[in-house]
Amino acid sequence: MNILFLNPPYMGRFSRTSRSPAVTKGGTFYYPIWLAYAAGYAEKAGNDIRLYDAPALMSSMDDLYTNLGSWQPKLVVIDTSTPSIHSDAMVAANIKTQFPKAFVLLVGTHPSALPEECIELDKAIDGAVVGEYDATVVELAAALEGNTPLAQVAGLVFRHDEGLVRTKERELIQDLDSIPFVSETYNKYLNISDYFFAAANYPMVMLITGRGCPHRCFFCVYPQTFHSHKYRVRSAKNVVDEFEYIAKHLPQVQEIGIEDDCFTASPSHVREICEGIISRGIRIKWYCNVRGDVKLDLLKLMKKAGCRLVTVGFESGDQTILDSMKKGIKLEKYLQFVKDVKQAGLMVHGCMMVGNPGDTRDTLLASYEFAVEANCDSMQFYPLYVYPGTEAYDWAVEKNYLKTTNFTQWLTPDGLHNCVLDTPELSSQEMVELCDYYLKKYHLRPRYILMKLWQGLFNPSEGYRTILSAKVFFSKIFGGQLRRQKHD
């Protein structure tokens, strides 16, 4: 079957696959990771596929149709996000007008949480997938091709003459090695120069070594709506094989991003991957998302295997806030972790959040003071962004903290993140202004600037990456500040 996998146009370089989708201040633009995995899986099953990333190309729907030419899809898989969902529904209507016989399917975290509501946004939408959609798309294509009942396809909500039908829950894919290398799919259908991560060397690719996360942070969207809290991994050999594929077939790649929610959830798995990279002599830089509790010996092994950077969600410098958001970790462990990271010779990108239960100006100040003490290579400060299907969203609704339920308001008119929470302690405007203030204050410290100059002097690639990121970052920060002043 002809299947089109579409990351639809929306607000320019809208990073839909980011955990908090937006046009980012630092210029980060994610690959359509999950769409690409599903596309590769469908192609492996014998389907004729196209993968089109409109935001990467800054292209319109007309550009898409020109690109497809005479090729006609029978199934169109449309990636979505919470802030873009209404636009995504309009794209579905546009697709149905162009290809009236195609089955139009919505996928992603938002329809996973609210499938019926998403389908009802437009009569052109034929169905939505709940959760991981690789296998669901393949089975749906087979059912449509064979004209068999769609009710037999697990993980699906679809439009029927008598209303919407929700099928049984789909079991999670256990054999992740059965899914083709996502980097191979990128190589076939995308241009890797279109993608950027502010903390990584350019160009880079993003891949996954495991799905799900065993930890219970109440805000994290992917484990709660998409992959579950059950952590499943690819075999270490399969991961190392992909590293080798990238080194051989994508020699221009300067860094690999391991985008698991928590790469170090299974230390033994990390160790096996690192040992495999070292034993094969693969020399390529990589970064990963970790929890702030990784042991020094494993950090040293990661460094030896080519790891350059770890990104960690500290979230708060106040223990009561960490406990309220179910982070399940102590501040003392964070501080030891930072010391160990530096001893291992790794860089660290940290994240701080405000707006969680109990957060105040004082707790955000504590987060800033923690950040200064840690002195990470880069640090984010951002308000809590809540998404349907998460405990954080339910908490905000229950407490009547949401300013609006219009999902388009999750972004500013420029496509940047917009805080929609007003808590008794902090208004949304205060959260945004405080985060911008601490973001600038942190990165404009003399100690920090000297550290980055020193890095750039001894590692020119780091200096070049920092300049690229800083240029976009400050244009967003100060540009946004000027626009707010003008609006006020």
pLDDT tier at 242 (50, 70, 90 boundaries)?
A: very high
Query: Which CA distances in Å does 414 have to 11, 266, 369, 407, 472?
Result: 8, 39, 31, 15, 14
pLDDT > 90 in the chain, percent: 87
> What is residue 2's three-state secondary structure?
strand
Weakest-pLDDT range from 14-28, 115-129, 294-308: 14-28
Specify the DSSP element, H or E, that contains 311: strand 307-315
Task: List all residues 6 or more positions away from 18 whose beta carbon is below 8 Å from its beta carbon.
Answer: 24, 28, 30
- The pLDDT of residue 471 is 63
- The pLDDT of residue 397 is 97
Bigger pLDDT: 356 vs 25:
356
pLDDT tier at 451 (50, 70, 90 boundaries)?
A: confident
d(CA 94, CA 223): 32
- The pLDDT of residue 482 is 42
pLDDT at 465 over 80: no
- The pLDDT of residue 462 is 61
Write down the pTM of the prediction: 0.93
Query: Which CA distances in Å does 230 have to 173, 212, 276, 292?
Result: 11, 5, 25, 20
d(CA 347, CA 452): 11
Tokens describing residue 210: 């495991």
pLDDT tier at 463 (50, 70, 90 boundaries)?
A: low
pLDDT mean over 175-190: 98
pLDDT mean over 244-255: 97
> What is residue 350's three-state secondary structure?
strand
- The pLDDT of residue 488 is 39
pLDDT tier at 472 (50, 70, 90 boundaries)?
A: low
- The pLDDT of residue 243 is 98
pLDDT mean over 52-65: 98
- The pLDDT of residue 485 is 43
Task: List all residues 6 or more positions away from 282 whose beta carbon is below 8 Å from its beta carbon.
Answer: 240, 243, 244, 247, 306
- What tens digit of pLDDT does each residue of 200-230 get? 899 999 999 999 999 999 999 999 999 999 9
- What tens digit of pLDDT does each residue of 366-400 get? 999 999 999 998 899 999 999 999 999 999 999 99
CB atoms within 10 A of CB 225: 22
Task: Map out the domains of the chain as residue ranges.
Answer: 2-166, 197-384+421-443, 456-488
Name the average pLDDT for the chain.
93
Length of the chain: 488
Bigger pLDDT: 436 vs 81:
81
Fold for domain 2-166? Rossmann fold (3.40.50)
Query: Are the C-beta atoms of 299 and 344 separated by less than 8 Å?
Result: yes
Q: 197-384+421-443 belongs to which homologous superfamily?
A: Aldolase class I (3.20.20.70)
Q: Please choose, from the candidates 204, 273, 271, 186, the residue with its C-alpha nearest in 3D space to the C-alpha of residue 234.
A: 273
Residue 224 backbone zone (phi > 0: left; psi -120 to 50: alpha; other: beta): alpha
| 270, burial (CB in 10 Å: exposed 0-12, middle 13-18, buried 19+) | buried
Which residue type sits at 302? M
- The pLDDT of residue 479 is 57
Q: What is the DSSP letter of 3?
A: E
- What tens digit of pLDDT does each residue of 252-285 get? 999 999 999 999 999 999 999 999 999 999 999 9
pLDDT at 464 over 70: no
